[in-house]
Amino acid sequence: MLTTTKKILRQAEKFGYAVGAFNVNDLEVIEAVLEAALAEHSPVIIQTSEGAIEYAGMHALGGAVHGLALYTPKYANLPIAFHLDHGKNPELVKEAIKSGWYTSVMIDASGHTFAENVEITRDIVLEARHYGISVEAELGSIAGIEDFVSVKDQDAHLTDSKQTRAFIRETGCDSLAVAIGTSHGAYKYKGDPKLDLERLQKIKKMVGHTPLVLHGASCVPEELRKKCTALGCVLKDAQGVSDDLIKKAIKAGINKVNIDTDLRLAFTVGVREALAKDPTNIDPRKILGPAKKLITELVRKKMRLLGSSGKA
């Protein structure tokens, strides 16, 4: 069943766990994520970036999610949210709101001044309210590159805990993405992975029951990284957020965890393995099938890590 991230995260915040938000670009990944949610009996957030919309189209992606969520009996009781991730273009966010596909959107005006961020976010929240859609906003910038999201390390700034309460009050946003040391992409850290958990704890005290979101949270699993490298991938120094840090972040107040890179890695390994195993194979189903299986296995592990398994 389709629902909003607000409803899903309200339960997560109340009971102290997090829900995975998984970026998708095509039907195979959508199906793989839903199969994982079904197996784990977990709520799930399926999200598309601006880049995914440019690649596959808003209506194609929305139609696929709605078709599976609403017309496939086995998914009937699964809480599924369809979310626009990192909407930096307000006009595109409004298009998503009015499209009838999305049950929640993110407006990312974190690159603007605080006052401008408040104004842009408030405008999106007012628009979304007419359609019963929940809104995620961002305060502080996440470093790295993910589709059209690009913030140089030296320009990235962590979330100021003192601003969070006023920001939520003035914008009316339903959840807040915070910058505490993660980054987008497969190369998150040059040294040991670190998160500013003390800052996160201060933020949580300021925002009360508003759910907090952690972007750039892929861990770049060592097993998949080694397999991909052995199959020809170039992933030198790729490093993500450890499972231990994710657990500590959830304990400190994170309720939504965004994951993209790990899915891309699993997909790539699956496809490369299939092609290497049988060079004569030209059947897309037999090439993409193993990739779907690996993504489902990965997402199931993520759901158990986040504590959302059994919460549907």
- Grouping H, G, I as helix, E, B as strand and the rest as coil, residue 45 is strand
In three-state form (DSSP H/G/I as H, E/B as E, the rest C), the secondary structure along 200-247 is HHHHHHHHCCCCEEECCCCCCCHHHHHHHHHCCCCCCCCECCCHHHHH
Over residues 137-158, the pLDDT tens digits come to: 999 876 554 444 444 443 357 8
Please report the pLDDT score of residue 149 as a whole number. 47
CATH number of 5-306: 3.20.20.70
pTM of the model: 0.93
User: So where are the chain's domains?
Assistant: 5-306
* 85 belongs to the catalytic site: yes
Please report the pLDDT score of residue 191 as a whole number. 56
Per annotation, catalytic residue among 26, 85, 153, 244: 85
Please report the pLDDT score of residue 239 as a whole number. 74
Please report the pLDDT score of residue 216 as a whole number. 83
Torsion sign over Cα 201, 206, 208, 214: negative
Please report the pLDDT score of residue 3 as a whole number. 97
Q: At 71, which helix (H) or strand (E)?
A: helix 58-71
Please report the pLDDT score of residue 109 as a whole number. 96
Question: What are the angstrom distances between the C-alpha of 216 and each of 49, 141, 170, 180?
Answer: 13, 11, 26, 10
Residue type (1 letter), 248:
K
**Stretches in the chain below the pLDDT threshold 70:** 142-156, 183-193
**Tokens representing residue 33 in the block:** 């994520």
**Tokens representing residue 161 in the block:** 């805990």
Residues 66 and 53: their CA atoms lie apart, in Å, by 16
Q: Is the distance from CB of 21 to CB of 8 less than 8 angstroms? A: no
